[in-house]
Amino acid sequence: MLPSWVMALAWITFFKNDRIGGASGAFAYFFGVQPPDWIAYGPIPIIICLSLHYYVYSYLSVSSSITSVDSQLEEAGAMVGLSRLKQFLWITAPLLLPAIGSAVVMTFIRVVGSFGTPAVLGMPVRYFVLPTQIYAAMGTRNAGDGFLLALVLVVLACLFIFINQRLIGVRKSFVTLSGKGFRSKEIDLGRWRWPLFVLVMLLMTAAVAFPLVLLVLQSLIKTAGNYSLSNLTLHYWIGGGSEGIDQLQAALVDNGNIIDATWNSLKLALLTAMTTGIFGFLIGYVVVRTRGSLTSRALELVAFLPYIFPALAFGAIYIGMFARPFGPIPALYGTFALL
């Protein structure tokens, strides 16, 4: 649920150096060493942050599929002499192939159109991906290049979805038939129980606890780069006089702009969720009921396109369409309705 750019902000707060980021980050303060640029910015931190955010797609898809795998199939493999590894490679993994393919496609589509994390971690060192290049093109009033790059994103997504459908087929799951009732079997991890538990907890710490704790700490600091206790303040949260703080800056509880922005975000999320729920239901019903037909495949492919289309390109196109009255539709530029 954490936006990927939140992890990116936490990463840059911890690893930024004084060569590019101005004030040093927490790593330099606590260890006395300036991190190299390739750790603070560029492709490596972008890949790490996006992986920590989007692994959830794979987890949700694969874990739900594993619960539907009949353990009797694995037991049958064991009866004919297959080792635990061969049972997984020859029986379990093929049954999970549709779920894995779906997770890969969903992750690819989201990452290829991701803007926030590449912007935070890539643009300071002029490391561009397609969405940030679109933003840069539009920022220089070169909208033509921006729209062209947006179409490149769409073509990439279509190509990847087509490859996925060719590899896995029309079906999104495999069905196994047996003469007995379904049964799921849990595996005793034995001596690997605690090492795997530690590994999972480290993952949770890196993906959730570390970014949140670091951002909360950053919100309490008066002077950037100084993480001593004497440099902490609650001014930005509840206000009150504090030496070294701009007293004209309103605290969270008194900042009308923040309160208005929060209310707008809630309204936008609620109305968008209701709208997408209705359209998603209608499209999903048609696709599933006509599964295997040309219409179903075409609609399913087209339905993915808005998912990967950069939001900033969407906004630019709709501004161009509705900046002026269009028939019975009034000008929507700068309105909540356009959002």
Q: How far apart are CA 250 and CA 236, in angstroms?
A: 7
Distances from the Cα of 20 to the Cα of 35, 124, 217, angstroms: 11, 7, 22
> Integer distance in angstroms from the first to the last C-alpha of the chain?
21
Q: How far apart are CA 106 and CA 164, in angstroms?
A: 11
Q: Which residue has the tokens 């490679």?
A: 89
pTM score above 0.85: no
Confidence check: pLDDT of 198 > 70 = yes
Question: Of the candidates 176, 181, 214, which has an alpha carbon nearest to the alpha carbon of residue 2?
Answer: 214
Confidence check: pLDDT of 90 > 80 = yes
Q: How far apart are CA 94 and CA 229, in angstroms?
A: 55
DSSP states along 109-146? HHHHT--HHHHHHHGGGT---HHHHHHHHHHTT-HHHH
Instruction: Summarize pLDDT for 221-277 with one digit per residue, the tens.
Output: 877 778 888 888 887 777 766 555 655 566 777 777 888 889 999 999 999 999 999
Instruction: Summarize pLDDT for 263-304 with one digit per residue, the tens.
Output: 999 999 999 999 999 999 999 998 888 888 888 888 887 887
Amino acid identity of 247?
Q
DSSP state letter for 328 = T
Lowest model confidence (mean pLDDT) among 9-18, 124-133, 176-185: 176-185
Q: How far apart are CA 321 and CA 22, in angstroms?
A: 41
Q: Which long-range contacts (CB under 8 A, 24 or more apart) does 289-296 make?
A: 291/170, 292/170
CATH numbers and ranges of domains, the chain: 4-218 (1.10.3720)
Q: How far apart are CA 68 and CA 120, in angstroms?
A: 40
Q: How far apart are CA 237 and CA 216, in angstroms?
A: 10
Determine the average pLDDT of the residues in 95-114. Answer: 83
Mean pLDDT, the chain, whole residue set? 81
* Maximum Cα–Cα distance across the chain: 76
Spacing of C-alpha 89 from chain mean position: 29
Confidence check: pLDDT of 174 > 60 = no
Q: Which residue has the tokens 């750019």?
A: 5
